[in-house]
Amino acid sequence: MFRSHLSSKPPRSKPPRSKPPCPKSRRSKSRAPAGAARWAAALAALTTAASLTVPVAGAAAEHRPRPPAKQPVATGYGGAVSTVDPYATRTALDVLRRGGNAMDAAVAAGATLGVTEPYVAAIGGGGYITYYDARTGRVHALDGREIAPKRMGEDAFLDPATGEPLPFDQAVTSGLGVGVPGTLAQWDLALRRFGSRDLGRLLRPAVTVAERGFVVDQEFHDQTALNADRFRDIVPTRELFLPGGRVPAVGSVFRNPDLARTYRELARRGTGWFYEGRLGEEIARTVADPPVAPDATRNVRPGLMSTRDLDAYRALLRKPTHVTYRGLDVYGMPPSSSGGTTVGEALNIMSGFRLGEDDPAKALHYYLEASKLAYADRGRYLGDADKVDVPVDELLSRGYARERACLIDPDRAAEAPVAAGSPDGDYRPCVPAGTATRPLAGEGPQTTHLVVADKWGNVASYTLSIEQFGGSGITVPGRGFLLNNQLTDFSFSPPAPGAAPDPNLPGPHKRPRSSMSPTLVLEGGRPRLALGTPGGSTIITTVLQILLNRVDLGMDLPAALNAPRATQRNTPQVFAEQAFIDRYGADLAARGHRLAVFPGPPAGVIGAATALEILRPGLVQAVAEPTRRGGGSAMVVRPAGR
């Protein structure tokens, strides 16, 4: 059982004063001229303003930047950070040490990830933040999800020549899949609402990393190699990420002077330069006319985005989802993310059963079955709640959870896919099991997550993404960042006649459904846990399993994060890591679960989580992956024991 160690009141130190709240992000106006540089000039500049890789041999090694040391667990005082990358973790920690708060540090870390993790985090993407404000004792949800262009209709991903859905890879590497980026508007809203530093100041560490470079590790090398063929077909992407036509070698130094200049301009001009000024014009032009290499044979379709779509974008402050589980308050991200509702529904279903470390296979059986039922409802009901009716309150109601829980056989897994339920307020002891639902939609697993806590008790849980590794593969010429392919999270084709409606079809200025699940857990009204992970539609199950491990199975947080994982998303098979199959496969197979190794990418690896736990007032433990995707980086301001 999850035991409380919080017995005293939190420190009375006040957080840095925030600026007055506002419901929508109001961006500063750009002072840039309205005209934009011509394509020829932008492309010509790439030959001199592209990324540089420097080998470590010889004299160059003397000037090589040293990567910060990685450690998966850090416990101490004064604030804590966990990210997938040591440069980003160091950036956030420096902000905390200099008096910044958790939101300041989260934004600074996100900007640095845009340099060192450009294939998963960039200002060309979006994300979600859940934030505990220690001054008010409230949890907030900040929505920076991308939106579709105004001209996008339900048939946008149908091939006009055949009427059939486009092949997924063609939709990904295209302007058609690019949503209006939300990251910068979200940072603007976050800092004005909760921050104590301005964006320009928080971009400085990222500028330094972009100019001096970072040491290429195996993960960066492998992600580049995975994308090399399509990167070669996009001129500015090839010049930036394949300098000299080659994948950067492990141990070399990668620099991005274009992104450094872009960050500097953003610091000087404000985010209006991105949404209303010259940079916005360049983004819209790049989407509408992707800069494809003359010798490329790939069909890179143009997109529908215009400068008016960029100008119309707003980041939003939303009410988080909330459920109680074993006496804990679990807060998550509301629609358009499906994370908060699906995690919450599954926890509600699981809460009706006694789960413990005495029989972990039994607990995992209920976890897998609850996930299966919650995913059926996710596919049927979840979409952008600003555009479609999403029954959030009913999906998270106890009555509905009891109705769904009665479908679980303690000794036998239900045949998947199971049918969605009816969250209509009329709940009975049980309803017949169904076997028909729409298949699991595609969703890229390439995302990243970070958590930050400061000395005042503020806590940020932040998931950010550009969708696939490398997003759309399209780099804005001369600007140093990739554009997302988040619109491929929409369903590609309307449901068959007579079938249930699909809440996740494309539509004008609609946000595609996401699985991102930045989660905060409070105990007695005070923060206890913050967690999240990349992994596409496996994000939800990874967060669920970490909570099960920590709360029900008696693991401490490092063990809960490191434990082998499985994911059940209402599919016939349970996909799992090999270590999970080795440990639990026989027991779960006896209950009817069909297990197979997770196909990836990356194959056999589910998620790359980061988390933190408030052990007692002031004492925080930050935790990152020890091995998955090369391991993460956890740091604290003042380590315990010093």
Annotated ligand binding at 515? The verdict is yes
How far CA 358 is from CA of 206, 355, 366, 369, 371, in Å, comes to 47, 8, 14, 19, 21
DSSP 8-state code for residue 293: -
Q: Which residues of 575-612 are buried (b: 16+ CB within 10 A; e: fewer)?
A: bbbeebbebbbeebeebebebeebeebbeebbbbbbbb
Q: Which residues of 78-98 are buried (b: 16+ CB within 10 A; e: fewer)?
A: bbbbbbbbbbbbbbbbbbbee
Helix (H) or strand (E) holding 611: strand 610-616
**Inter-helix orientation angle 183-194/199-212, to 10°:** 130
Helix/strand/coil (H/E/C) assignment for every residue in 429-480: CCCCCCCCCCCCCCCCCCEEEEEEEECCCCEEEEEEECCCCCCCCCECCCCC
Annotated ligand binding at 489? The verdict is yes
Q: CB atoms < 10 A from the CB of 366, how many? A: 21
C-alpha to C-alpha distance for 115 and 117, rounded to whole angstroms: 6
C-alpha to C-alpha distance for 424 and 623, rounded to whole angstroms: 40
How far CA 18 is from CA of 135, 195, 526, in Å, comes to 10, 6, 20
CA 67 and chain centroid, separation: 24
- Bond into 601 cis (ω within 30): yes
**Inter-helix orientation angle 257-269/102-116, to 10°:** 150
Task: Please list the active-site residues.
Answer: 447
- Bond into 417 cis (ω within 30): yes
- Cβ partners under 8 Å of residue 484, min gap 6: 122, 124, 125, 126, 146, 177, 178, 179, 181, 465, 466, 467, 471, 472
Owner of token pair 């009410």 = 319
Radius of gyration of the chain (CA): 23
Annotated binding site: 145, 489, 514-515, 536
Q: Binding site for L-glutamate, residues? A: 145, 489, 514-515, 536
